[in-house]
Amino acid sequence: MPRVSVRRLFVYAIYTVVVTSLVMLAFHVQQQNPLWIKVLEQSSGQDGYYQHNSKELDDEPNNFDVINNNESKISADNDINKTIASMNPLRRHGLPWYIKNDGYRPSQDDLVYNVWPVSRLKGDRIEEQLMIPSRNIDGTSSNVPAGALKPNLKKIFLPNGLGSWQTKSGQKVFTEQKCPVDRCSLTSNRDEAANADAIMFKDFFASPSHQRSPHQIWIMYMLECPLHTQYIREKDVFNWTATYKSESELVTPYEKWVYYDEKIKRKPVITNFAANKTKKVAWFVSNCGAKNNRLEYAHALQKHIDVDIYGSCGTKNCPRHSGDHCLDILSTDYKFYLAFENSNCRDYITEKFYVNGLGSKVLPIVMGAPRADYEKHAPEHSFIHVDDFASPKQLADYLHLLNSNDTLYNEYFEWKETGQFINTYFFCRLCSMLHEASYSPPRYYDDFNEWWRGGTNCIKGSWRDLEKHQRNK
Ligand SMILES: *[C@@H]1O[C@H](CO)[C@@H](O)[C@H](O)[C@H]1NC(C)=O
Ligand SMILES: *[C@@H]1O[C@H](CO)[C@@H](O)[C@H](O)[C@H]1NC(C)=O
Ligand SMILES: *[C@@H]1O[C@H](CO)[C@@H](O)[C@H](O)[C@H]1NC(C)=O
Ligand SMILES: *[C@@H]1O[C@H](CO)[C@@H](O)[C@H](O)[C@H]1NC(C)=O
Ligand SMILES: *[C@@H]1O[C@H](CO)[C@@H](O)[C@H](O)[C@H]1NC(C)=O
User: Rounded to an integer, what distance in angstroms lies between the CA atom of residue 240 and that of residue 445?
Assistant: 7
pLDDT digits (tens, 9 = 90+) for 337-352: 999 999 999 999 999 9
Ligand 4 centroid, distance to 299 Cα (angstroms): 30
What amino acid is encoded at 339 in this protein? A
pLDDT of residue 122: 76
As annotated, the active-site residues are 224
pTM of the model: 0.77
Ligand 1 is surrounded, with C-beta below 6 A, by 70, 72-73
Within 8 A by CB and 6+ apart from 216, the residues are 196, 197, 198, 199
pLDDT of residue 48: 25
pLDDT of residue 56: 28
Q: How many CB atoms are located within 10 Å of the residue 370 CB?
A: 21
User: Rounded to an integer, what distance in angstroms lies between the CA atom of residue 353 and that of residue 245?
Assistant: 16
CA 244 to chain centre: 8
Q: Which ligand is nearest to the CA of 234?
A: 5
82 CA: nearest ligand 2 atom: 14
Best mutation site among 276, 410, 416 for ligand 3, i.e. most ligand atoms within 8 A of its Cβ? 276
Q: Is 410 in a helix, a strand, or coil?
A: helix
Q: Which ligand is nearest to the CA of 17?
A: 1
Give DSSP secondary structure letters for 16-84: HHHHHHHHHHHHHHHHH-HHHHHHHHHHHHHH--B----TTTT----TTTTS---HHHHHT-TTHHHHH
Closest CA to 392 of 463, 292, 310, 297: 297
Ligand 4 centroid, distance to 402 Cα (angstroms): 10
> Which H or E run contains 172?
helix 172-176
Q: Is 265 in a helix, a strand, or coil?
A: coil
pLDDT of residue 79: 55
Ligand 5 centroid, distance to 446 Cα (angstroms): 10
Alpha helical stretches, state H, 194-313: 294-302
pLDDT of residue 317: 85
**How does DSSP classify residue 136?**
-
- 8 A C-beta contact, residue 384 and residue 353: no
- 8 A C-beta contact, residue 19 and residue 13: no
User: Rounded to an integer, what distance in angstroms lies between the CA atom of residue 2 and that of residue 292?
Assistant: 67
Which residues in the chain land under pLDDT 70? Answer: 1-87, 120-121, 135-151, 319-324
pLDDT of residue 145: 52
Burial class of 432 by CB neighbour count within 10 A (0 to 12, 13 to 18, 19+): buried
Closest C-alpha to ligand 3, atom 7: 276
276 CA: nearest ligand 3 atom: 1
405 CA: nearest ligand 4 atom: 1
Give backbone dihedrals phi and psi of 220, rounded to 5 degrees, phi first.
-105, 120
User: Rounded to an integer, what distance in angstroms lies between the CA atom of residue 59 and that of residue 439?
Assistant: 10
pLDDT digits (tens, 9 = 90+) for 394-420: 999 999 999 999 999 999 999 999 999
Best mutation site among 381, 403, 408 for ligand 4, i.e. most ligand atoms within 8 A of its Cβ? 408
- The sign one gets for the Cα dihedral 172, 174, 179, 183 is negative
Best mutation site among 266, 398, 403, 407 for ligand 4, i.e. most ligand atoms within 8 A of its Cβ? 407
108 to 93, 112, 140, 175: CA distances (angstroms): 14, 10, 10, 18
Q: Which ligand is nearest to the CA of 49?
A: 5
Ligand 1 centroid, distance to 77 Cα (angstroms): 13
Ligand 3 centroid, distance to 277 Cα (angstroms): 10
Closest C-alpha to ligand 5, atom 8: 214
pLDDT of residue 8: 58
Q: How many CB atoms are located within 10 Å of the residue 91 CB?
A: 19
pLDDT of residue 35: 31
Question: Residue 45: CB within 6 Å of ligand 5?
Answer: no
Ligand 4 centroid, distance to 360 Cα (angstroms): 24
Closest CA to 275 of 461, 371, 147, 409: 409
